[in-house]
Amino acid sequence: MTVLVERDNIGIFGKMNAGKSSVMNLLTQQETSIVDSTPGTTSDTKISLHEIHGIGPVRIFDTAGINELSELGEKKRKKVMSDLKETNLVLLVIDPSTSDFNAEAELLKEARELDRQIIIIYNIFSDEDKSRINEVEEKLALLRFHKKILIKANESSFRRQLLDFILENYEPENPLMDLLPFIERDRYYILVIPMDVETPPGRYLRPQAMTEEYITRHWAYPVSFRLDLASARGDDPDAEKKRFLALINGLAEKPRCIITDSQAMDIMSKWCPDDIDLTTFSIVMINYMSGGKLSNFVKGVEAADNLKSGDSILIAEACNHSRVGEDIGTVQIPALVEKIYPGVKVEHNFGREFQDNSELEKYSLIIHCGGCMISRQKMTARIRDLDAVGVPYTNYGIFLSAVNGRAALRKVVKPWGIEI
């Protein structure tokens, strides 16, 4: 079965001027990063996408040095630590000619706590540096646990050696994930797409496009149905329901599953025939982006039962799309919360960066979108943060199913082999 492949993240870390950008350029074979002996030349993380034979598609991060003592330096440090959470393989670049290794100690400790794979790169500027490595290892006792290589990062002849060393010592982590593990060849799948004012012209949203492509690729038949949500929710929904059922009944065979936009769960939970499975695009995406941790999000929605006036919940979206009309995150879910959980405050977090753990702790529940615009590593890092602070989290599709009753929730998780 064909599966989608995610990129592994390789992060280059170390203090200022250790030669991180030279390592980046060595790996990418181009001037991706500016190499300058002025400390702090890399002011923000640079990202390069590559295919490394033997590993597959990778995303290489060249991060800023974390030992810059200024207000800006502190901001850079936070960004580097956030990058570390997303990294599968940490390349820690050490210049043995220096004497203060606090930055390396901090990076090493954090990377180990996050269970990251770590490779140490001693960047040798002169032969004298080699004799100082024992001294470095005495100061950084944790180094003894990790594989090391000595290179001259600014000499391109070391590229092959470095790549071979990485291939030998790195176990690619990105699991091959099925987007829709329940797809069966030659079966019909109905995609319910309301196409409201937020829908961009000329293309489907990423979860819709991925789902359609996946079903086709697996020799099954995706059939799209544009649902008129306003009519379906209006005074006379029968005409819209008739149109929907005519499509289903007109197919040569009963569809195997209906995959709907989550915001239409109030309609689809009632219209979907009992003998056809149902799930949502948001659930498809969160399962895929979280590396199969859908059950965590299903468990998290139980926290909604205990919400009380004065509690705060966070609606988290991993992108900053333009918000017009009855936007799901800013209008529809807040309106539902107000109606079902009076007095519960709703806050929002939009975009790629998530909040510090200390802020997350104040929420009684996090409701996350499908997360299609961030990497799986970033989503996994978010989950790890939330697990660490013990804040329950759920997802748009699960929440919008749960508010339509236990039976609706049970139905949308059933295709995933989850029983509640």
Q: Which residues bind ligand SF4 (CB under 6 A)?
A: 205, 285, 317-319, 321, 369-373
Structure tokens at 6: 């995610």
Q: Between residues 215 and 283, which has the closer beta carbon with respect to ligand SF4?
A: 283
Buried b / exposed e along 33-67 (16+ C-beta atoms within 10 A): bebeeeebbbeebbebebebeebeebbbbbbbbbb
Decide: 27 and 47 in contact? Cβ < 8 Å: no
Phi (first) and psi of residue 212, to 5 degrees = -60, -45
CB of 318 to ligand SF4, least distance (A): 4
CB of 81 to ligand SF4, least distance (A): 23
CB of 49 to ligand SF4, least distance (A): 19
Q: Between residues 19 and 371, which has the closer beta carbon with respect to ligand SF4?
A: 371
Q: Between residues 271 and 399, which has the closer beta carbon with respect to ligand SF4?
A: 399
The residues pairing with 106 across neighbouring beta strands, listed in sequence order, are none
Q: Between residues 318 and 398, which has the closer beta carbon with respect to ligand SF4?
A: 318
Structure tokens at 49: 């996408």
CB of 353 to ligand SF4, least distance (A): 13
Decide: 288 and 381 in contact? Cβ < 8 Å: no
Q: Between residues 318 and 400, which has the closer beta carbon with respect to ligand SF4?
A: 318
CB of 190 to ligand SF4, least distance (A): 20
Long-range contacts of 333-337 (CB under 8 A, 24+ apart): 333/367, 333/396, 333/399, 333/400, 336/400, 336/403, 337/313
Q: Between residues 303 and 372, which has the closer beta carbon with respect to ligand SF4?
A: 372
CB of 281 to ligand SF4, least distance (A): 8
Going by C-alpha positions, the residue among 383, 66, 29, 374 that lies closest to residue 206 is 374
